[in-house]
């Protein structure tokens, strides 16, 4: 006790010192926000000591480093994560209490770093934490967006997009590294100069590193998240300014600012598309220059790069890094093309995240050539090499056309996935099914040419954030039951299997779940004014809004259930709260309409006394990491109902199961592997398989007939289409529902009956609360494998060769 008090008072003295000397306030003058900043800065001092130790150790060991290039890092808040990973939560709590402050209040002041859109960005954040946990030297490389992903507000049920101002009060975690600044060129021309070529860029901006430390579990290692910000080479043209052209004098800086302003600028027009490609090149080129500079500084010979660096491309957004590395090796380091190609392939690897053809990135050739003329030449050179290999392998013309880095159908385009595939030694999918489908669909021909390149690395989530920090009650219950080993190895959660029928543990976990539901209900009451019954089943679908994720299937079933409850009030209905959240891409009309439909349905059902306490629907605005941390521990049912074959992996599914929710889902993405681990009896599966979906599409699928044969479905669809939920605009959903009648690309009709039956099976299970508890426990016990530590371990061994 004495030592713990001593540590607490040391922490306390440190915070007060920071408050005085770095914030410039004494205790009586300090506002809550000053304490918040002082606490983070004091904590950061501890982090920095370990960070410097880690960096020193990496230099001394001279080993290989991992570089994770990603357009998104959806890291969320860092205060609780950092305290927990350093084992300092208790002493910080006490230090703050001595000033009458509550740690939870300070945590609420931290903005979410919204530098990502969804699963892909959150995966990058989980990976950074696991890399540090596994003591692997690594840098994450991305963009420090000033506004990032938009903040979502709901006005009259509609999504409204606002700039996310997460940096408004500064960011106490980060360090600007002015010495790590690089020139990034765009446009201009390429001229021959004797044997070599020189790219004279028409325009240059400077990329400057801003570093955030990433602390691993138990603070063993602190790695670096290096995000690039942009400045004009000449931020203020003083001559122009003095001549009275005040705006023109600042134009270059405005142009540079635009590069780091938002994630995914609208690309429905040429200027937006160009900005997006500029962003991709900007951060990829800065990262490659940084990696090469570090290598040459510490190891001298550029040819040993593959021994010291593994570059992972998170999707195709940084694929231009392949061409940039080639340019640096050939043009700046004077290597032969063949040698440069061997080095590039040995260093780079690529993760594919989607099979949706519309999401496979490609750029109009004229735009690419105008912006990156030297890279265009390099891509042609790579392409002729790849096509030669394809000819030699005896592939037919159709296969060769599919392999080409240039899409010759219609307007010629540069295919970024083919560049990423050919430019590295490994291409991985993110769940077993997804990887198999990659081999059969998008990359079928590339797979024939390079049969050893595709491999699977099923996604994972960090159990620190997604169990320990978001659900301390459950963590404590597990620790009391099986001891603390699972904290260091999530697969040790399997010890819970022996206790699946232990009624005391079942009871305790049920109490934890209820407390989490009460806490969520309080939050919803405060923020939305809606009263929820914590004894109802919390049925949750939170994720980006997309037709393939099928929020519509859930909504139509909700409407059908509403009809059923009203027609048969005497039945023993299970009370449910249907919780939705998620952002719709700003240019995605149907996704925005689905948000409005959710709110229209919620308004009607929540106001109908005839279903009273049995059904409530709500759409929680501005889904982000902090919201997920609040909702997931309170969920009873996890909706993972995508059209089979379309969700590459999903990671939300893993977080829910880890927190003891039952999954209702299709045989898609990682759901299949979750089922394999928790057992068929502990998950509710329905619907077509990926093969059946493909077969129906190929053989002429007729949704109209299906709808007409299902009374429940046709009534629900007609009710929505005829304006029952939108009396102010009865035609609002006519087109949305017509889409289901006419083509139903996402097979809502085909899966509807299976889904309703599965939901009624869920009701039956709920009525057996002891059985439900045992299932929840089996889920928690058997999903430790979905820790991102396991995933990163596989990348490290199979792809990066660092373990």
List residues near ligand PLP by CB under 6 A. Answer: 74, 118-119, 122, 543, 624-625, 628, 650-652, 655
CB of 74: closest distance to ligand PLP in angstroms? 6
Catalytic residue among 37, 77, 543, 596: 543
**Nearer of residues 425 and 592 to ligand PLP, judged by Cβ:** 592
Closest CA to 477 of 501, 512, 503, 515: 512
Catalytic residue among 353, 447, 457, 576: 353
Helix ranges (H only) for 684-747 are 690-698, 703-709, 711-721, 734-742
CB of 123: closest distance to ligand PLP in angstroms? 8
CB of 459: closest distance to ligand PLP in angstroms? 8
**Nearer of residues 123 and 340 to ligand PLP, judged by Cβ:** 123
CB of 633: closest distance to ligand PLP in angstroms? 13
**Nearer of residues 125 and 371 to ligand PLP, judged by Cβ:** 125
Buried-exposed string 599-637: b where 16+ CB fall within 10 A, e elsewhere: bbbbebbeeeeebeebbbbbbbbbbbbbbbbbbbbbbbb
**Please, what is the angle between helix 373-392 and helix 320-327, to 10°?**
100
Structure tokens at 465: 């954030």
User: Nearest residue by C-beta to ligand PLP?
Assistant: 652
Identify whether 517 is a catalytic site residue: no
Catalytic residue among 576, 655, 732, 778: 655
- In contact, 664 and 641? CB cutoff 8 Å: yes
- In contact, 447 and 774? CB cutoff 8 Å: no
What SS3 string covers 47-109?
A: HHHHHHHHHHHHHHHCCCEEEEECCCEEEECCHHHHHHHCCCHHHHHHHHHCCCCCHHHHHHH
Closest CA to 148 of 180, 111, 187, 123: 111
Closest CA to 737 of 606, 599, 590: 590
Identify whether 422 is a catalytic site residue: no
- In contact, 690 and 355? CB cutoff 8 Å: no
- In contact, 766 and 698? CB cutoff 8 Å: no
Residue with tokens 């490994």: 426
Identify whether 583 is a catalytic site residue: no
Distance CA 421, CA 436 (A): 16
The count of C-alpha atoms lying within 13 angstroms of the C-alpha of 179, restricted to the half-sphere facing its C-beta, is 2
Distance CA 689, CA 681 (A): 18
**Nearer of residues 655 and 765 to ligand PLP, judged by Cβ:** 655
CB of 705: closest distance to ligand PLP in angstroms? 32
**Nearer of residues 111 and 188 to ligand PLP, judged by Cβ:** 111
Identify whether 543 is a catalytic site residue: yes
- Do you know the residue count of the chain? 803
CB of 70: closest distance to ligand PLP in angstroms? 14
Closest CA to 289 of 29, 133, 67: 67
Identify whether 544 is a catalytic site residue: yes
**Nearer of residues 624 and 759 to ligand PLP, judged by Cβ:** 624
Catalytic residue among 226, 295, 465, 549: 549
CB of 377: closest distance to ligand PLP in angstroms? 39
Catalytic residue among 80, 276, 544, 616: 544
**Nearer of residues 30 and 634 to ligand PLP, judged by Cβ:** 634
Identify whether 513 is a catalytic site residue: no
Q: Please list the active-site residues.
A: 353, 543-544, 549, 651, 655
């Amino acid at each position: 006790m004495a030592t713990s008090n001593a540590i607490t008072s040391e922490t306390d003295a440190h915070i007060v010192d920071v408050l005085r000397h770095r914030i410039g306030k004494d205790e009586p003058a300090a506002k809550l926000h000053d304490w918040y900043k002082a606490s983070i800065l004091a904590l950061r001092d501890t982090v920095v000591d370990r960070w410097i130790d880690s960096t020193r150790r990496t230099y001394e060991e001279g080993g290989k480093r991992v570089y994770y290039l990603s357009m998104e890092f959806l890291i969320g808040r860092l205060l609780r994560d950092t305290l927990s990973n350093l084992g300092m939560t208790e002493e910080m709590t006490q230090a703050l209490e001595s000033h009458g402050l509550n740690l939870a209040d300070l945590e609420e002041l931290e903005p979410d770093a919204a530098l990502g859109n969804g699963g892909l960005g959150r995966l990058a954040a989980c990976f950074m934490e696991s890399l540090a946990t596994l003591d692997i030297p690594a840098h994450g490389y991305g963009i420090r967006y000033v506004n990032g992903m938009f903040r979502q507000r709901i006005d009259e049920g509609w999504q409204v997009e606002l700039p996310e101002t997460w940096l408004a009060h500064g960011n106490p975690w980060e360090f600007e590294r002015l010495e790590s600044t690089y020139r990034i060129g765009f446009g201009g021309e390429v001229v021959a100069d004797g044997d070599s070529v020189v790219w004279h860029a028409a325009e240059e901006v400077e990329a400057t590193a801003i570093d955030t430390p990433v602390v691993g579990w138990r603070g063993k290692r602190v790695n670096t998240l290096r995000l690039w910000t942009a400045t004009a080479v000449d931020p203020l043209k003083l001559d122009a300014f003095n001549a009275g052209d005040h705006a023109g004098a600042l134009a270059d800086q405005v142009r540079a600012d635009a590069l780091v302003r938002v994630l995914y600028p609208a690309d429905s027009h040429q200027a937006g598309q160009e900005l997006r490609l500029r962003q991709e090149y900007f951060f990829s080129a800065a990262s490659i220059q940084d990696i090469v500079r570090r290598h040459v500084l510490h190891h001298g010979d550029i040819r040993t790069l593959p021994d010291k660096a593994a570059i992972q491309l998170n999707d195709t957004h940084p694929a231009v890094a392949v061409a940039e590395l080639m340019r640096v090796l050939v043009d700046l380091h004077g290597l032969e093309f063949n040698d440069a190609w061997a080095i590039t392939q040995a260093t780079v690897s690529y993760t594919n995240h989607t099979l949706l053809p519309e999401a496979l990135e490609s750029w109009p050739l004229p735009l690419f050539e105008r912006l990156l003329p030297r890279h265009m030449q390099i891509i042609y050179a790579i392409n002729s090499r790849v096509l030669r290999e394809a000819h030699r392998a005896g592939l037919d013309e159709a296969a060769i056309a599919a392999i080409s880095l240039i899409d010759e159908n219609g307007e010629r385009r540069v295919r970024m996935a083919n560049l990423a595939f050919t430019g590295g030694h490994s291409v991985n999918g993110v769940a077993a099914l997804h990887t198999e489908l990659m081999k059969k669909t998008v990359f079928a021909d590339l797979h024939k040419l390079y049969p050893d390149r595709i491999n699977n690395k099923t996604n994972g989530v960090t159990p620190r954030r997604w169990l320990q920090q978001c659900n301390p009650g459950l963590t404590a219950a597990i620790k009391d039951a099986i001891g603390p080993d699972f904290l260091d190895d999530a697969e040790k959660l399997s010890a819970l299997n022996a206790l699946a029928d232990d009624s005391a543990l079942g009871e305790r976990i049920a109490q934890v779940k209820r407390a989490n539901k009460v806490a969520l209900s309080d939050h919803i009451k405060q923020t939305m004014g809606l009263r929820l019954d914590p004894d109802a089943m919390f049925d949750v679908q939170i994720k980006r809004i997309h037709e393939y994720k099928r929020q519509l299937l859930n909504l139509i079933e909700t409407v059908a259930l509403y009809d059923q409850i009203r027609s048969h009030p005497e039945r023993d209905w299970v009370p449910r709260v249907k919780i939705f959240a998620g952002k719709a891409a700003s240019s995605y009309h149907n996704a925005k309409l689905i948000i409005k439909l959710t709110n229209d349905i919620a308004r009607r059902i929540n106001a109908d006394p005839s279903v009273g306490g049995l059904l409530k629907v709500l759409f929680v605005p501005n889904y982000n990491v902090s919201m997920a941390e609040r909702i997931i521990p309170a969920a009873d049912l996890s909706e993972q109902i995508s059209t089979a074959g379309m969700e590459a992996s999903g990671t939300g599914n893993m977080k829910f199961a880890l927190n003891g929710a039952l999954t209702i889902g299709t045989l898609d993405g990682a759901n299949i592997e979750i089922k394999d681990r928790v057992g068929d009896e502990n998950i509710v599966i329905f619907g077509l398989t990926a093969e059946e979906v493909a077969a129906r599409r190929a053989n002429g699928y007729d949704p109209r007939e299906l709808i007409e044969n299902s009374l429940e479905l046709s009534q629900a669809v007609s009710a929505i289409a005829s304006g029952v939920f939108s009396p102010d605009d009865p035609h609002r959903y006519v087109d949305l529902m017509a889409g289901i009648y006419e083509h139903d690309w996402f097979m809502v009709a085909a899966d509807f009956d299976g889904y309703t039956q599965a939901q009624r099976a869920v009701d039956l299970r709920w009525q057996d609360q002891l059985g439900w508890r045992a299932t929840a426990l089996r889920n928690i016990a058997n999903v430790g494998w979905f820790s991102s530590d396991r995933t990163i371990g596989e990348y490290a061994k199979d792809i990066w060769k660092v373990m």
